[in-house]
Structure 1
Amino acid sequence: MGARLAGPTNEAFELLRTTYTPPEGRRGTLAISSMISLAGNWLSQRLGHFQMAHPQLAVRLESSDSIVDFMHDDIDVAIRTGDGDWPSLTSDFVMPYTFAPLLSPRLMESIDLRHPEDLLKLPILDPQDPNWACWMADAGVAFDPVAQKAWPALGAQVNEARVALAGRGWRC
């Protein structure tokens, strides 16, 4: 997977470097807003190398799932999922983003898991997340997020993934 993403990742960082590198002798700042899960699980691991290769460009990462208002927020670039059709903005495809159920082996052993709808026997972390409806529809499963048991709001997919891996539920 890493080798497949290397090309698009390098192209994306090259685009950022050429767009935001200040004139010779001046130091500039590139402010990036990224979804919390992407920032914690992927982007932050790569920014150190980017920063070392471009010391004239300081990088500031803000992790938030909120939509950026470029007119009011001090952000240069935002990384989000979507179809790229955002009025008055320019978008570039960075990489595919695949959603899949995540649960601990212990929780998986607690049910007879043969079909996607069998997952509905387990507690779903944040059933209101729109990714659930997409994944369930793709799997051919009728899914009503309102009918699911209420769970605490954990604020980010990375937190929900940790709960899932601890065997307390599953998430997409």
Structure 2
Amino acid sequence: MRRLPPLSAVRVFEAAARHQNFTAAAAELGMTQAAVSYQIKLLEERLGAALFRREKKRVVLTEAGSRAAPALTRAFDSIDATFAAVRAEDEGLLTVSTSNTFANTWLAWRLGSFQMAHPEMAVRLHTSDAMVDFAADEVDVAVRAGLGPWPDVAQDLLMRIDFTPMCSPSFLAAQGGSLTPADLPRMLLISPQDPWWLWWLQEAGVEVPGGVLRPGVRLDSQAHEGNAAIAGQGMAILTPFFWRNDLAEGRLVRPFAQVSTRDYGYWLVYPEHRRRVPKIARFREWLLAEIAKDRALLA
């Protein structure tokens, strides 16, 4: 078991010994000269030995102080070097956690541009639909879906989540080329258990008896549902923002103008106390700019 004196007092002594001056030590540590004197007095009482002699307007190290000071300076230099290495290592890797949908339909396609803009930094993308725990997980920032806000994290709203039915042109042609919302309950729907379907149909004025749609293929993320729709496997309910390129290039079509929302959104979240960490600030600035650019193209 270590029998260490108060480390705050040790730190004050090391600075005072290095400067041979209480006033200079106080300036370095952001303290008053009186506070430096008090900490030195506490340390001397704890050790039972004088560390400084007071001579007129200056202080001089005693023999005990002269023996202790060089070793403590080396120890603090070692501590500083250790944490500098930790800071450098931390700054060299950015870990981003996000849902499978956001990663596969948007972020993974663009993350390379952030990497190219910051070649000194490695970027690791962690995909999971579970909510990240910043206290336990080795994650710097996360993109979280939900209503927000959440306690104990800083957060930026990236976009609201909206949704509308989409399918491939060939699937629509097989249904006669045009549809009304009332046609949907009898059709082959992708992930019909998704509550988005009932919400969209209700807003379209379509009642679903018992609130249960006919069975269909059930997939675990919008990324998979959209790709299944592109392959002609049925009608999927998707967020237009994520599939705008497929819509523009004709791989998907939107049979209906109606777009619904439940006020959910995608948010960038990160620990409040790490708001000013350079790599987090750089990623936040890049992400908000990329989202704004893509939303402008969709408008």
TM-score by length of 1: 0.72
Distance 1:32 1:150, change over 3 A: same
Counterpart mapping for 1:3-82 below 5 A: 27-82=91-146
Distance 1:100 1:73, change over 3 A: same
Give per-residue Cα distances to partners, 1:27-46, cap 9 Å, x unaligned.
43221112212211211121
Give percent identity, aligned residues only. 38
Please, which moves more after superposition, 77-86 or 137-146? Answer: 137-146
SS of the aligned residue for 1:32 comes to strand
Highest Rg: 1 or 2?
2
- Cα deviation, residue 23, structure 1: 6.0
The correspondence for 1:117, drawn from 182, 201, 220, is 182
Partner of 1:19: none
SS of the aligned residue for 2:94 comes to strand
Partner of 2:149: 85
Q: Which structure is higher in strand share?
A: 2
Contact 1:127/1:145 (<8 A) preserved:
no
Partner of 1:108: 172
Q: Which has the higher contact order (CA 8 A, sep 6+)?
A: 1
SS of the aligned residue for 1:97 comes to strand
Q: Which structure is higher in helix share?
A: 2
- Cα deviation, residue 127, structure 1: 1.8
In 2, the alpha carbon distance for the partners of 1:57 and 1:70 equals 20
Gaps of 5+ in 1: 1-21
For these two proteins, the number of residue pairs brought into alignment is 151
SS of the aligned residue for 2:134 comes to coil
Contact 1:28/1:56 (<8 A) preserved:
yes
In 1, the alpha carbon distance for the partners of 2:90 and 2:135 equals 24
In 2, the alpha carbon distance for the partners of 1:90 and 1:34 equals 16
Asked if 1:128 is matched to 2:193, the reply is: yes
In 2, the alpha carbon distance for the partners of 1:88 and 1:27 equals 22
Distance 1:81 1:114, change over 3 A: same
Give per-residue Cα distances to partners, 1:87-134, cap 9 Å, x unaligned.
333321113433121112222123354422222221111122233233
The correspondence for 2:228, drawn from 147, 156, 163, is 163
Contact 2:96/2:142 (<8 A) preserved:
yes
Please, which moves more after superposition, 83-92 or 145-154? Answer: 145-154
Asked if 1:153 is matched to 2:203, the reply is: no
